[in-house]
């Protein structure tokens, strides 16, 4: 499938909705958290559909739990497919993780064991999900603070998973930066290992420091070290889209976020080959 060049955007959050609606001309696209609308009433869903007629939308999930022992719930998948259809979503994404085990909701994006067996499990599910949705599917790298006895490096695991699943990559630049700091690996080598042609979208978010720990809080302006890494990653991969994630501690002046979006766009314009994949 052809993937459109969307440009620079922001994550749609209800707290930011009035400012977003007032500034759509400054935003190339919006990323919507799927689960916030899958079970919403008709009025809320209609609002999203109307919004999608004004600005391109992509759907980003947090509860597909691709690494769980159980397959993706059919009711969930059917609702997601309908939402993607109604909003004409350019693509759908979720995380390389699990969020539940049986009937237990873990409540967090939890790392999987990076093994060939896990690649088989997730790749099969991604192929099934992509087929059911009828549109491109992206996998995102998560932040993790503990490892689970994996036999593959994170980069090698992602490369093999993308190859086996046919998925594209949503590269969270902040997550890569934090993981490299936490686990002591070279983040440039990590990015260089990834298949450039499969990187379609990027996330950037601000973090907080608690002593030597970097917390993926999505609560601050994006730090300069993350901006530098973003520029390197864009120059190497030429993604179709990049966006700012802000989930708390929203600035009083929306221009602060618009400034970050403009900075995203400037980097994309310097390095990205506009067109179709």
Domains along the chain?
7-266 (3.20.20.150)
Mean pLDDT by 10 residues, the chain (277 residues): 90 96 98 96 95 98 93 94 97 94 76 95 96 96 89 96 98 98 96 97 97 93 98 97 96 97 97 57
Cα separation, 156 vs 243, in Å, equals 25
Residue 1: what pLDDT? 58
Instruction: Determine the pLDDT at residue 163.
Output: 98
In terms of DSSP bridges, do strands 199-205 and 104-110 run parallel, antiparallel, or are they unpaired? unpaired
Report the candidate in 168, 163, 186, 165 with the shortest Cα–Cα distance to residue 176: 186
Phi, psi at 25, each rounded to 5°? -65, -20
Residues 72-75: contacts with CB within 8 Å, 24+ apart? 72/125, 72/128, 72/129
8-state DSSP, 146: S
CB-based contacts of 225, cutoff 8 Å, min separation 6: 177
Q: Output the DSSP codes for 228-253.
A: HHHHHHHHHH--SEEEEE--SS--SS
Q: Please choose, from the candidates 146, 141, 210, 198, the residue with its C-alpha nearest in 3D space to the C-alpha of residue 175.
A: 141
The confidence score (pLDDT) of residue 99 equals 87
Burial class (CB in 10 A: 0-12, 13-18, 19+), 43: exposed
Distance (Å, rounded) from C-alpha 101 to C-alpha 268? Answer: 39
Q: How far apart are the first and last CA of the chain?
A: 8
Listed residue (230, 225, 221, 148) closest to 191, CA to CA: 230
Give the residue from 227, 220, 112 showing the smallest Cα distance to 173: 227
Q: Hey, what are 5's tokens?
A: 């060049």
Query: Can you tell me the distance from the alpha carbon of 148 to that of 113, in angstroms, rounded to the nearest whole number?
Result: 6
User: What's the pLDDT at 276?
Assistant: 40
Q: What's this model's pTM, rounded to 2 decimal places?
A: 0.95
The β-bridge partners of 242 are 8, 202
Structural contact between residues 66 and 94, judged by C-beta atoms closer than 8 angstroms: yes
- What pLDDT, on a 0 to 100 scale, did the predictor assign at position 107? 74
Count of CB atoms situated within 10 Å of the CB of 248: 10
pLDDT score, position 275: 44
């Amino acid at each position: 499938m052809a993937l459109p060049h969307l440009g620079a955007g922001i994550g749609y959050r209800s707290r930011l909705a009035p400012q977003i609606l007032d500034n759509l001309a400054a935003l190339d696209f919006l990323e919507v958290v799927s689960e916030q609308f899958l079970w919403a009433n008709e009025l809320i869903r209609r609002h999203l559909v109307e919004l999608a007629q004004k600005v391109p939308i992509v759907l980003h999930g947090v509860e597909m739990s691709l690494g769980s022992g159980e397959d993706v719930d059919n009711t969930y998948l059917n609702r997601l497919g309908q939402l993607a259809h109604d909003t004409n979503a350019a693509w759908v994404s979720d995380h390389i993780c699990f969020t539940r085990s049986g009937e237990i909701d873990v409540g967090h994006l939890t790392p999987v064991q990076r093994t060939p067996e896990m690649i088989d499990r997730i790749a099969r599910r991604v192929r099934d999900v992509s087929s059911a949705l009828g549109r491109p599917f992206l996998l995102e790298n998560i932040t993790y603070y503990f490892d689970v006895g994996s036999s593959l490096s994170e980069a090698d695991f992602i490369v093999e998973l993308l190859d086996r699943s046919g998925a594209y990559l949503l590269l969270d630049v902040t997550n890569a930066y934090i993981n490299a700091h936490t686990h002591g690996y070279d983040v440039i080598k990590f990015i260089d290992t990834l298949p450039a042609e499969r990187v379609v979208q990027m996330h950037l978010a601000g973090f907080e420091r608690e002593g030597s720990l970097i917390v993926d809080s999505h609560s601050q302006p994006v730090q300069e070290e993350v901006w530098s890494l973003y520029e390197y990653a864009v120059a190497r991969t030429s993604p179709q889209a990049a966006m700012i994630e802000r989930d708390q501690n929203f600035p009083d002046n929306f221009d602060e976020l618009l400034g970050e979006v403009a900075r995203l766009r400037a980097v994309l314009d310097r390095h990205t080959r506009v067109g179709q994949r």
